[in-house]
Chains A and B, each alone.
Chain A
Amino acid sequence: MNALQPIVKRATIWLPYLWLLIFFLAPFVMVVKLSVSEPAIAQPPYIPALDWLDGPLGWWEDIKKFSFSNYTFLTQDALYWKSYLSSVQIALISTVLTLLIGYPLAYGMASAPRTLRPLLLMLVILPFWTSFLIRVYAWIGILKKEGLLNQFLLWLGVISEPLTIMNTNWAVYIGIVYSYLPFMVLPLYANLEKQDSALLEAAADLGCSKMSAFWQITWPLSRPGVIAGCMLVFIPAVGEFVIPSLLGGSSTLMIGRVLFDEFFQNRDWPVSSAVAVILLLLLIVPIMLFQRSEVRAREQSA
């Protein structure tokens, strides 16, 4: 073996590791730190809570001065906890809707003739490559009061006056389902496609009807795909910003939007950091669940 080998090997680990420590983990420390700082009218608009140059003794002094006022502020103003709650609710409803649409789609793709499957897979992935923003934007023209959906429905005669969908939670659900559908379909498809068709034949052979075989065999076996898909939709949807701000109305409370406005409009960096910290705590359990299921899936396939 080459003497350089261990060094090279270590470098392949440490280079990305270090990068992520600096640009992914360290920033979170910053967020936590800032969330206990006092806001100020300055540039940047806060008084640092912890000065790294103070040295270990100085840090202790700084820590004693930590201000939790930002967090108390979050509990006092109903806007925040209502936004958290409503974000989780909207994300949950959207995730269930995405599953309801995504599962039959993935199932249909997995049962398609083998030669057709790569094309179908490509067709699911393709929208994922096109800009998220554009895809959300495309719905504005459809959902507006004088938009294409209402024009179409009026023309069909299904409705007599235009529906109000734009700027409601329904528009947000549609936007989330639409944008995140590929994230749901891909893990489900990967799972369903791998399932051994002999299992369903065995079930039929043992006297199980098709419907019942689905619920007893296919569905329980697809659980890892369902979990991965739901996590891929739910977690980012909770913190979604673009969809509620383009499609939602003034009554659509979502925490990502609150954080964004807090930061850019009120320029209250410490409070937006506190909002981010709480959001992260809210999502840490689903994120760890997701990581565990991913690692397990990958180790199984290896």
Chain B
Amino acid sequence: MSNPKQPAALNRTFHPWLEEGAKPFIEFRNVTKRYGSFTAVDDLSLEIFEREFFALLGPSGCGKTTLMRMLAGFEDVTEGDVFLAGENLADVPPYRRPVNMMFQSYALFPHMSVEKNIAFGLKQDGMAKSEINDRVADMLVLVKMEQFGKRKPDQLSGGQKQRVALARSLAKQPKLLLLDEPLGALDRKLREETQFELVDLQEKLGITFMIVTHDQEEAMTVADRIAVMDHGRIVQVAPPMEMYERPNSRYVADFLGDINLIASKTVGRAKGKILLQSDSGQELQVTTGENFAIDRNVWFASRPEKLSISRKKPAKSINSLEGVVWDIAYLGGVTIYKVKLDSGEFVKAAVLNSSVSGNDIITWEERVWISCSPQGARILTS
């Protein structure tokens, strides 16, 4: 907590999903889940690997929780199969699955002390009493709750409850831990700290973690890979950096962070670049290895931090657009400029405040140039 490490994705060389022939630990094979006429999960296939920290990200109602509850055994699969370590889970009741879940509401048993809560799962397995006591003590140390073992859940703060719930779901040393919006009830500061703790814990224990969240920052902080879901389908699966830098659709680009989109048309190719013309007639360029058919409707997409803003027209006038500062949001670390382009579109540019100095800062209603290098932009087709 005091020494937050780098997010998992950056400090590991762990890419089982890239390895040829690697056996998935969890496999959803053409899974569909319907409630009456409503399709919550739609013909979905997904592979998750051992020791992976996997995040399911999406807005509420996108099917991510349903997907997780199928793994835990609380929802039947309408069509398709779910495999865990090669075993089809179809007929395995929840209480026989080597999977534990941390509930969004924590679901701590209110009539049992913290210790009893943590011991609950162990007791069901008929573990010896002394062994249970040892394990409970270990778990309390693990989540730094040693002094609270005798308390009842309603005598704990939100953060403490969260720790107990985590300890309880880890006590049985499951092969897979499911976390359903585990930090949703915590305030921002505590949530951020806890995210790093979760990552540490997962590395230490070597258990596969699957987290459901609607918070993109949370997903990016903790996960090795993220799956973005929409309407019961997976839109993209990728590690956080790839997902952010190379989103495959406007939906993903918009869900993870902020994006400026300019509707355009492909008009030509040149030296690893694609030439575009925006609907308002502006010429644009994007560096890309991909190939696009000419005369196709696409979007020129660029993150706000890849845009620069200046009073004078930049020397290299590629991808430079003129407009008026419409609104300014000073956020401390960065300032966001909302600029109304002469074509009528709005774009946002994020400027690091380390570069802002003195009194001469761009202010409301100034005419400015917004520009973006061809490497800082992408073409999105859907």
Contacts and interface: CB of A to CB of B under 8 A. Distances in A.
Q: Is there a direct interface between A and B, measured as CB atoms under 8 Å apart in the complex? A: yes
Interface string A200-211: 011111111100
Interface string A178-203: 00000000000000000010110111
Interface in B63-81: 72-74
Q: Select the residue from B95, B110, B120 with max chain A CB neighbours within 10 A.
A: B95
B107 A198 contact: yes
A201 B94 contact: yes
A196 B105 contact: yes
A196 B107 contact: yes
Contact of B124 (A199, A207, A220, A221): A207
Nearest to A202: B107
A282 interface: no
Contact of A206 (B74, B104, B111, B172): B172
Interface in B55-102: 72-74, 93-97, 99-101
Nearest to B125: A207
B101 A205 contact: yes
Contact of B100 (A206, A216, A217): A206
Contacts of A75: none
B121 interface: yes
A201 B95 contact: no
A207 B95 contact: yes
B255 interface: no
Contacts of A291: none
Nearest to A198: B107
B111 A205 contact: no
Q: Which of A198, A204, A206, A212 has the largest count of B CB atoms less than 10 A from its CB?
A: A206
B248 to A, nearest CB: 34
Nearest to A205: B101
B103 interface: yes
Contact of B120 (A206, A209, A221): A206
A207 B107 contact: no
B177 to A, nearest CB: 11
Contacts of B161: none
B172 A207 contact: yes
Interface in A60-82: none
Contacts of A204: 73-74, 93-95
A209 B101 CA distance: 16
B303 interface: no
Interface residues of B, number: 26
A66 B111 CA distance: 51
A209 B95 contact: yes
Interface string B161-197: 0000000110010000000000000000000000000
B109 interface: yes
A203 B120 contact: yes
A203 B120 CA distance: 8
Interface in B119-137: 120-121, 124-125
Dominant secondary structure of chain A at its interface with chain B? helix
A217 B101 contact: no
Contacts of A216: 120
B121 A198 contact: no
Contacts of B125: 207
Given A201-B94, A217-B109, A208 B99 contact: no
User: A204, A207, A216: which has the most chain B beta carbons within 10 Å?
Assistant: A207
B164 to A, nearest CB: 12
A212 B107 contact: no
Given A221-B110, A221-B111, A205 B124 contact: no
B124 A206 contact: yes
A196 B105 CA distance: 9
Contacts of B111: 220-221
A209 B73 CA distance: 13
B120 A198 contact: no
B339 to A, nearest CB: 47
Contacts of B100: 205-206
Contacts of A217: 109
Nearest to A206: B121
A134 to B, nearest CB: 41
B172 A201 contact: no
Contact of A208 (B104, B107, B120): B120
A205 B99 contact: yes
A214 B101 CA distance: 19
Contacts of A206: 95, 100, 120-121, 124, 168-169, 172
B202 to A, nearest CB: 19
Interface string B28-48: 000000000000000000000
Contacts of A199: 107, 109
Interface in B337-378: none
A202 B103 contact: yes
A221 B154 CA distance: 14
A233 B99 CA distance: 44
Contacts of B96: 207
B124 A212 contact: yes
Contacts of B120: 203, 206, 208, 216
A198 B108 CA distance: 9
Contacts of B110: 221
Contacts of A196: 105, 107
30 contacts: A196-B105, A196-B107, A198-B103, A198-B104, A198-B105, A198-B107, A199-B109, A201-B72, A201-B74, A201-B103, A201-B107, A202-B101, A202-B103, A204-B74, A204-B94, A205-B72, A205-B95, A205-B100, A205-B169, A206-B95, A206-B169, A207-B124, A208-B95, A208-B120, A208-B121, A208-B124, A209-B95, A216-B120, A221-B110, A221-B111
Given A202-B108, A206-B124, A207-B172, 4 more contacts: A202-B109, A206-B95, A206-B169, A207-B96
- Ranked 9 nearest A-B pairs via Cβ: A206-B121, A207-B124, A202-B107, A198-B107, A204-B94, A204-B95, A205-B101, A208-B124, A207-B95
